[in-house]
């Protein structure tokens, strides 16, 4: 058989082969075209999703900053009425923008602060913020309940309704004696309200009396700017309650704010092994007593 005869195809065979070649080309072109269309279609969609995601993130970032980002304004404490104070004053008092927004929303809905303690219910207000602002809250008479005014117009009887009076604050250069003042006197000090007045009295009782005004800074969140209005007299220093370290038990010793359990146990062990303590110098021999701790204890120790 010759080569020509080997590669000879009939007319019907040639048509079938041609049809197969055309079909293969068409299928190949269709596959390439559909793949290119998918790639080009997916790219704009992906870019659009990315842009949308960035826009949402940017929107959330702006919202978070406007509502939750702490302000860097210097705090300036002044008397204010939460019912009428403008946003600028509220921000200057140390409130965050989102807290001011919450307060304004409360007022716009008809909410009223009728007494200083009502301000503590402001959404998001921390205990530290309330303690700091409470002495500066001033509620105008216009916001008292109407029933109070009607009651005042009725004929007076033998039983008078109690009236709430806010103490007059001390002027610069005036003082209260720290160890003899009661809570009423203490609340006359600028920056001191009912809470800190109680804290001062409670800490004074635990110490046995203050030996210096700097000890007030040991009270949590105490307003340091108020220290200049306090004084400790020589008579008060002489009346400080002292601890006899040779007679008190471990439990009695550790009740003092300056003596912890380990210090009290060290004193009791020293007495058991060496007898009574005679001076503060002997406390230096005990590992739990540093120079600073002995200095703080000096006004409160006797032998």
Domains annotated for the chain, with CATH where assigned, are 68-144 (1.10.150.320), 176-238 (1.10.150), 243-302 (1.10.150.280)
- Angstrom CA distances, 149 to 145, 152, 156, stand at 7, 5, 13
Contacts 24+ apart (CB under 8 A), 108-112: 112/83, 112/143
Please provide the average confidence, as pLDDT, over all residues in the chain: 80
Task: State the pLDDT at residue 58.
Answer: 44
Six token digits for residue 154: 């009725």
Instruction: Give tens-digit pLDDT for 103-133.
Output: 999 989 888 888 888 898 888 889 888 888 9
End-to-end CA distance of the chain: 135
What span, in angstroms and rounded, lies between the C-alpha atoms of 174 and 139? Answer: 26
Q: What is the pTM of this model?
A: 0.51
Distance in angstroms (rounded) separating the CA atoms of residues 245 and 118: 47
Residue 247 clears pLDDT 70, i.e. is over it: yes
Average pLDDT over residues 28-38: 71
């Amino acid at each position: 058989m010759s080569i020509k005869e080997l590669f000879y195809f009939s007319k019907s065979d040639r048509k079938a082969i041609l049809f197969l070649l055309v079909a293969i080309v068409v299928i190949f072109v269709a596959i390439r075209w559909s793949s290119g269309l998918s790639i080009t279609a997916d790219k704009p969609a992906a870019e659009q999703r990315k842009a949308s995601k960035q826009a949402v993130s940017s929107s959330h970032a702006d919202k978070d900053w406007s509502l939750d980002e702490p302000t860097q304004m210097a705090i300036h404490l002044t008397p204010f009425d939460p019912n009428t104070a403008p946003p600028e004053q509220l921000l200057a008092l140390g409130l965050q923008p989102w807290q001011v927004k919450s307060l304004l929303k409360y007022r716009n809905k008809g909410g009223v602060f009728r007494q200083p303690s009502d301000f503590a219910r402001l959404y998001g207000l921390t205990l530290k913020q309330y303690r700091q602002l409470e002495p500066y809250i001033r509620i105008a008479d216009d916001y008292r309940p109407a029933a109070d005014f009607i009651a005042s117009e009725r004929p007076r009887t033998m039983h008078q309704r109690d009236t709430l009076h806010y103490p007059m604050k001390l002027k610069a250069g005036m003082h209260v004696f720290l160890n003899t003042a009661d809570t009423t006197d203490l609340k006359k000090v600028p920056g001191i309200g009912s809470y800190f007045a109680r804290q001062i009295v409670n800490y004074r009782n635990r110490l046995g009396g203050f030996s210096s005004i700097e000890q007030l800074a040991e009270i949590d969140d105490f307003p340091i700017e108020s220290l200049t209005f306090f004084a400790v007299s020589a008579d008060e220093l002489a009346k400080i309650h002292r601890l006899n370290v040779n007679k008190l038990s471990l439990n009695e010793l550790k009740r003092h704010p300056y003596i912890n359990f380990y210090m009290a146990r060290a004193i009791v062990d020293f007495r058991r092994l060496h007898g009574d303590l005679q001076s503060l110098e002997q406390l230096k021999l005990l590992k739990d007593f540093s120079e600073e701790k002995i200095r703080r204890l000096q006004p409160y120790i006797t032998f």
